[in-house]
């Protein structure tokens, strides 16, 4: 059982309780200064390769000068990576509801190419059918209502546009799953708590992954939100997965 009030809040947030939105926003505001360092450290830099794979799935080269959404953008890593891609000539909106995270990523790309936007994934201040593609990396599980966020992304995409989700998952092979749980539930919270100074934040992470839908269920919920041709690919023995859906009507 959780030992402190913060641990109880983390557990409730991971389960999708009423306080999830406030807990997630407050937590990421606090860990923003060391967020990038811990991401790369705790994933042994594999997260960089996962992001490159997700960007390939976005197939931005189809509309190289288009408008793109980096949802739950955090410190703008994905948006900055897309902005630096050879041949990219478009514009990226990096939306996140934790301004401190966006400030921590400021300067990773010119504002003329990547603009931070303080906004909730469930209520985006973007016009209908205004984006040529959208991507979210390790953020969709933190949204208070997954289905609301999926519908909102569908709303802002143009017909034929792709939506890519990169998110943690739970390995299915027993030996890999055992090592994963050992690292994710014990080693990662210990190191993350020391480096970030926020003990419950890195306890929330494995709990939020445990409560997140399986790859198949997420695909079904993307389909229910209106996306077509939904598919997914497991990465690194099932530690993460990339889902891709297309808005119909092109």
CATH of the domain at 165: 3.40.50.150
DSSP letter for each residue of 28-81:
HHHHGGGHHHHHHHHTTTHHHHHHHHHHHHHTGGGGTTSEEEEET-TTTHHHHH
Residue 168 has pLDDT above 80, yes or no: yes
- Classified as helix, coil or strand, 249 is coil
Give the confidence band of 30 by pLDDT, cuts at 50, 70, 90.
Answer: confident
Assigned token pair, 69: 């959404």
For residues 197 and 118, what is the distance between their CA atoms, to the nearest angstrom? 25
Lowest average pLDDT, out of 52-66, 120-134, 157-171, 198-212, goes to 198-212
Number of domains forming the structure of the chain: 1
Q: Where are the beta strands (DSSP E) in 72-119?
A: 91-96, 114-118
Give the confidence band of 7 by pLDDT, cuts at 50, 70, 90.
Answer: confident
Q: Which residue has the tokens 């599980």?
A: 141
Mean pLDDT of 103-114: 94
Q: Is the distance from CB of 98 to CB of 25 less than 8 angstroms?
A: yes
Identify the bridge partners of residue 70 per DSSP, sorted by sequence position.
94, 135
**Percent of the chain residues topping a pLDDT of 90:** 60
Give the confidence band of 56 by pLDDT, cuts at 50, 70, 90.
Answer: very high
Q: Is the distance from CB of 78 to CB of 54 less than 8 angstroms?
A: yes
Residue 136 has pLDDT above 60, yes or no: yes
Dihedral over alpha carbons 99, 142, 158, 47 (to 10 degrees): 90
For residues 162 and 165, what is the distance between their CA atoms, to the nearest angstrom? 10
Give the confidence band of 220 by pLDDT, cuts at 50, 70, 90.
Answer: very high
Lowest average pLDDT, out of 28-37, 121-130, 154-163, goes to 28-37
137 secondary structure, DSSP code:
E
Mean pLDDT of 27-50: 76
Which among 67, 69, 46, 53 is positioned nearest to 140, based on CA atoms? Answer: 69
Q: Is the distance from CB of 46 to CB of 80 less than 8 angstroms?
A: no
Give the confidence band of 144 by pLDDT, cuts at 50, 70, 90.
Answer: very high
Would you state the pLDDT for residue 173?
87
Q: Is the distance from CB of 185 to CB of 206 less than 8 angstroms?
A: yes
Domain with 121, as residue range(s), is 5-247
Would you state the pLDDT for residue 119?
97
Would you state the pLDDT for residue 2?
44
Would you state the pLDDT for residue 37?
65
Would you state the pLDDT for residue 1?
42
Q: How many helices (H) and strands (E) does the chain have?
A: 11, 7
């Amino acid at each position: 059982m959780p030992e402190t009030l913060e641990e109880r809040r983390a557990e409730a947030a991971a389960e999708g309780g009423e306080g999830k939105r406030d807990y997630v926003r407050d937590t990421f505001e606090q860990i923003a200064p060391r967020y990038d360092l811990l991401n790369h450290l705790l994933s042994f830099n594999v997260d960089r390769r996962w992001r490159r794979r997700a960007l390939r799935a976005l197939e931005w080269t189809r509309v190289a000068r288009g408008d793109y959404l980096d949802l739950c953008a955090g410190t703008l890593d994905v948006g900055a990576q897309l902005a630096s891609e050879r041949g990219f000539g478009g514009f990226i909106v990096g939306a996140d509801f934790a301004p401190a995270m966006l400030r921590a990523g400021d300067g990773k790309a010119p504002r003329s190419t990547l603009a931070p936007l303080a906004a909730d994934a469930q209520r985006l201040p973007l016009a209908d059918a205004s984006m040529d593609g959208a991507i979210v990396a390790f953020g969709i599980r933190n949204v208070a209502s997954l289905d609301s966020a999926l519908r909102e992304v569908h709303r802002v995409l143009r017909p034929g546009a792709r939506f890519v989700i990169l998110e943690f998952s739970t390995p299915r092979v027993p030996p890999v799953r055992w090592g994963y749980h050992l690292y994710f539930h014990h080693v990662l919270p210990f190191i993350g708590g020391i480096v970030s100074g926020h003990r419950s934040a890195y306890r929330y992470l494995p709990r939020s992954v445990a409560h997140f839908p399986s790859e198949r269920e997420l695909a079904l919920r993307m389909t229910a939100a209106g996306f077509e041709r939904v598919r997914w690919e497991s990465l690194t023995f099932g530690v993460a997965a990339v889902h891709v859906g297309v808005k119909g009507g092109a």
